[in-house]
Amino acid sequence: MASLTCTNFTLLTAAAILLQITGLSLFVFGFFPIKPALSGVSGPESFRPSSCDSIEDQNFTALHPDHLKSLYQELSEIPPSYDRLILMVIDGLPAEFVLGRDDQPPSKIYKDAMPYTQSLLANKMALGYHAKAAPPTVTLPRLKAMTTGSIGGFLDVLFNFNTQALLEDNIIGQFFRIGWKMVMLGDETWLKLFPGLFTRHDGVSSFFVKDTVQVDNNVSRHLSYELYKNDWNLLILHYLGLDHVGHLGGRSSTLMGPKLKEMDEVIKLIHSSIIQNHKQTLLVVVSDHGMQENGNHGGSSYEETDSLALFISPKHSHVSVSPTINQVDIAPTLSLLFGVPIPKNNAGYLITDLFLPLQDHELLRAMELNSLQLLKLLEAQTTHFTCKSLYLDAISLHKSWKMKNDLRSASNDEFKNTVFAYNEFLKTASQQLSHTATDKPMGLLAVGVTTMLLSCIIFLFLLFKLIQETYQNLKLQLSEAFIAIIIIILVLSMGSSSLVEEEQYLWHFMTSSFFLILLHKTFKSKSTNKIKTSILISIIIISGRVLRGWHQGGVNWTHLPDISKSLENSSSFYIKLLQILSVFVILVLCFYTLSSLKSCVVISIMGSYFCVGLLVLNYVMKYQGDGDNDNDGILAAQMIYGLIVGLTSVMVVGSPWIVSFYLKDLVLKIKDCLYLSGIAYVFGWCFLQLLLQKPVNSMPISLLLVQILATICCGSDFKQWVEIGAIYYLGMAGHFSLGNTNTLATIDVAGAFIGISTHSTVLSGLIMFVITYASPMLSLLSMVLSISMKDINPKLKNMGQLLKTILGFPCLVPLGLNSVLLVAYTIILLLMRNHLFIWTVFSPKYIYVVVTTVCVLVGVLIVASTVTYIVSVVFLLRHRYYKHSASLLYGRREDDS
């Protein structure tokens, strides 16, 4: 077969990348659409069956708020239970802290921290519930669930960082239409969701998680004033400090007890004011989600979905019948308690306990209104549902009870039967609405999958073609075949939810097995470097075993002991010692790699990296931890950012000009330029990670660097595509060694604000990406260093062919391997679209697969751009050198003549 020219090779690769991006975009927006919502808002028609809707109902928004409020009360036939609402949101508070778990009271430390709240529960002045939150457990979709009653789309987790105005029918809008005056203090997400609806407000950023004090003081400083005022109907207080404490130190943080005590004092202050001044006020204390043991959230574990709903008023005189509700049940409950229509897209059902003070006919009417709303939503969203007969049974029993009640012959059993029938319908309808999968455009999904598959085929074809051109013998050895075997095993594992949750075990096992095979091959070989290579591979395997035990990872076995837990539970001295050791190891490796270059410029580069190392070490010792939000800490971090970016840019951009001073040979010049650039990328990235990663992750960063450098050093004994595959696999296994999993809860939100004084979605998102994909990106950036260690054929004088030879494997191997995993998991996700764990296991994993693809594309782009720039400049300088030499020679000949 004829070989591909560099132009054709580049065009096919670019076409494959474009196809992959296009197909992935089509599939993502087809599989994860923004959940469709019924347009418009509920009005007078919500109090009547569909057949009774009138034309007048369509003009209800033109009514004066007082008239609309009176109309709603008349149509609902239920007097409002309260006239003022205080909604207190304690971000990230697990219900377990207040209500206990599995019929057991909360632990003593939590119970003692909130004595007033516990007394309210004990004296039946408060009803407490475990309000189950649907994943993803982040603030934005949880606030939407509480105000609209609807289950949000999965991609709301992405919109959590860029909140837009909520256009869907919600209780805040319903309150506004009946003339309520509303005040909001706290998380500015409310202001973005409901712009222009609040009479007074003071918003704070929810993302600056380093702040655990001022973020709550900004709320509480207004509290006494607002409780004294009588000009509002709704007061929203959204406290963020407890969530931030969790992100910084986990559930067991020493700050958790004092923060709970602070929230208890706020509840005490509000409740005392209610009792003394305004008894018709309902205080609702809720949390948007819970948190894992490490304080993070976003996934679907019990600890993350266990949110709180606490209803406090003087009217309660009983204990809740069921301690568990769904978070979406809050919206219809508040709507009916305050006499406004239930939002159109509500999927929740009312909390019956809160309506027990009502008369029997009022309670049944409330259940009827909720049933009517759910029935209309079911009829609008699906053509077939199985619970309409339950609705008809409940309505029939209700009519029968009303007739007998009018004649005063209705028995208590008939009332209970009617309540039971309504409850059966409400629960069934709510479950059906919550679990109904959004209709997916199968044609669009098929085009997306086909396009990605075509892209994958092109990548694999180019890779096979390049192997065929480079190596005459295509017979695969076990070590070479194992590159493909790893991918096949990973693809087969993707269909199991348990293996997706515990994917790290496969990566560690397969990577270790691969290097054991390489070690066995080395022992059997007759290479002169046998001993050196064997030692290097042994170092890789031993380092891998340490990394395997650093974080337990996964979902089901996180409670088991590991190195990181032991370090965190011991004195901070050991973590600081490891951080110092990590800086020292990286500096030594940096100086060792630079020492092979014969140039006086190397001394200045070494001095620059020594300064970077000292600055990182100073930051680690002085600012990292509770004090890194200080202005001095922010300035120190920004200085390190600037120095790393500046030094890397100078070395990469200036390398061809630096090397031209002491080298004239074309091949050596290119190799030294690539070597300098590779060092800049690898060590700059490692120092950056020492700054950004959690302190306990400093040693894994240095061990990952040791693994990658050892692989590059012994790569000469193996084919280049095998070496590139090995480096790529080390990067993927290292991803889990840093504590990452396939759940969103392990994303380090706190680290995303290091060196940032104010919240920036772009900068914070970029830093979050850098932290999460530290290991895969390190492996990709190291490709430049790997290229510089390879022999370059001096006969290749054509720049195009030289670029193809140099860039072929470093670009195609990562692109090809990732493409196989992407296509395979896309197909599996499509097949699993009706699986029980589609939103809790498979979808979060797919988000990681998508972002990993972005990581690979960015890494390959950096490598290709760097190599192309260096080769182009070196050829340009050589051309100018020859031109200058020729002109000098021509001038001399003229003088001689």
Per-residue model confidence as pLDDT tens digits over 182-229? 999 998 889 989 999 999 999 887 666 677 888 899 999 999 999 988
Residue for token pair 């005022």: 229
What percentage of the chain exceeds 90 in pLDDT?
Answer: 50
526 band by pLDDT with thresholds 50, 70 and 90: confident
Q: What integer pLDDT is reported at residue 614 of this predicted model?
A: 93
Inter-residue contact 130 to 325 (CB < 8 Å): yes
- What are the structure tokens assigned to 269, written together? 């202050």
The secondary structure of 302-334 as a DSSP string is: HHHHEEEEEEE-TT--S--S-SEEEGGGHHHHH
- Distance from the first to the final alpha carbon of the chain: 55
pTM: 0.76
CATH topology of domain 44-349: Alkaline Phosphatase, subunit A (3.40.720)
pLDDT tens figures, 634-675? 888 899 999 999 999 999 998 888 777 666 777 888 888 899
More confident residue, 874 or 426: 426
Residue 97, SS3? Answer: helix
According to DSSP H, which parts of 407-477 are helical?
412-435, 442-470
1 band by pLDDT with thresholds 50, 70 and 90: very low
Residue 536 scores a pLDDT above 70: yes
Cα dist from 777 to 460, 685, 730, whole Å: 22, 9, 11
Across the range 140-144, mean pLDDT stands at: 88
Neighbours of 384 (CB within 10 A): 6
Q: In this structure, what DSSP letter does residue 739 have?
A: T
pLDDT tens figures, 738-764? 989 888 778 887 788 888 877 677 888
| Dihedral, CA of residue 467, residue 470, residue 475 and residue 481, to nearest 10 | -40
Residue 317 scores a pLDDT above 70: no
Which of 330, 327, 261 is CA-nearest to residue 113?
261
Q: What integer pLDDT is reported at residue 38 of this predicted model?
A: 76
Q: What integer pLDDT is reported at residue 628 of this predicted model?
A: 47
Across the range 361-386, mean pLDDT stands at: 86
Q: In this structure, what DSSP letter does residue 104 have?
A: B
Q: What integer pLDDT is reported at residue 190 of this predicted model?
A: 93
Neighbours of 630 (CB within 10 A): 13
Across the range 525-531, mean pLDDT stands at: 79
Across the range 478-491, mean pLDDT stands at: 89
55 band by pLDDT with thresholds 50, 70 and 90: very low
Q: What integer pLDDT is reported at residue 419 of this predicted model?
A: 92
Inter-residue contact 252 to 293 (CB < 8 Å): yes
Across the range 290-307, mean pLDDT stands at: 86
Neighbours of 516 (CB within 10 A): 15
316 band by pLDDT with thresholds 50, 70 and 90: low
879 band by pLDDT with thresholds 50, 70 and 90: low
Residue 837 scores a pLDDT above 80: no
**CA separation for the pair 193, 190 (Å, rounded):** 5
Q: What integer pLDDT is reported at residue 615 of this predicted model?
A: 93
| Dihedral, CA of residue 791, residue 793, residue 794 and residue 796, to nearest 10 | -140
**CA separation for the pair 275, 269 (Å, rounded):** 10
**CA separation for the pair 130, 307 (Å, rounded):** 6
Q: What integer pLDDT is reported at residue 157 of this predicted model?
A: 56
Inter-residue contact 678 to 784 (CB < 8 Å): yes
Q: Where are the domains of the chain?
A: 6-25+482-490+498-884, 44-349
More confident residue, 52 or 13: 13
Of the CA atoms within 13 Å of residue 100, those in its CB half-sphere come to 12
326 band by pLDDT with thresholds 50, 70 and 90: very high
Across the range 335-361, mean pLDDT stands at: 92
Q: In this structure, what DSSP letter does residue 790 have?
A: S
Q: What integer pLDDT is reported at residue 892 of this predicted model?
A: 52
883 band by pLDDT with thresholds 50, 70 and 90: low
Across the range 590-597, mean pLDDT stands at: 89
Residue 524 scores a pLDDT above 70: yes
Residue 499 scores a pLDDT above 90: no
Q: Give the sheet arrangement for strand 182-187, strand by strand.
A: 200-204, 182-187, 234-239, 84-90, 281-286, 306-312, 126-132, 324-326
Q: What integer pLDDT is reported at residue 869 of this predicted model?
A: 92
Least confident of 298-312, 313-327, 576-590: 313-327
- Top mean pLDDT of 334-348, 373-387, 631-645 is at 334-348
Inter-residue contact 44 to 52 (CB < 8 Å): no
Across the range 24-49, mean pLDDT stands at: 82
Across the range 515-538, mean pLDDT stands at: 87
Q: What integer pLDDT is reported at residue 356 of this predicted model?
A: 83
Q: What integer pLDDT is reported at residue 320 of this predicted model?
A: 64
**CA separation for the pair 125, 246 (Å, rounded):** 29
AA identity, residue 530: K
- Top mean pLDDT of 101-105, 434-438, 522-526 is at 101-105
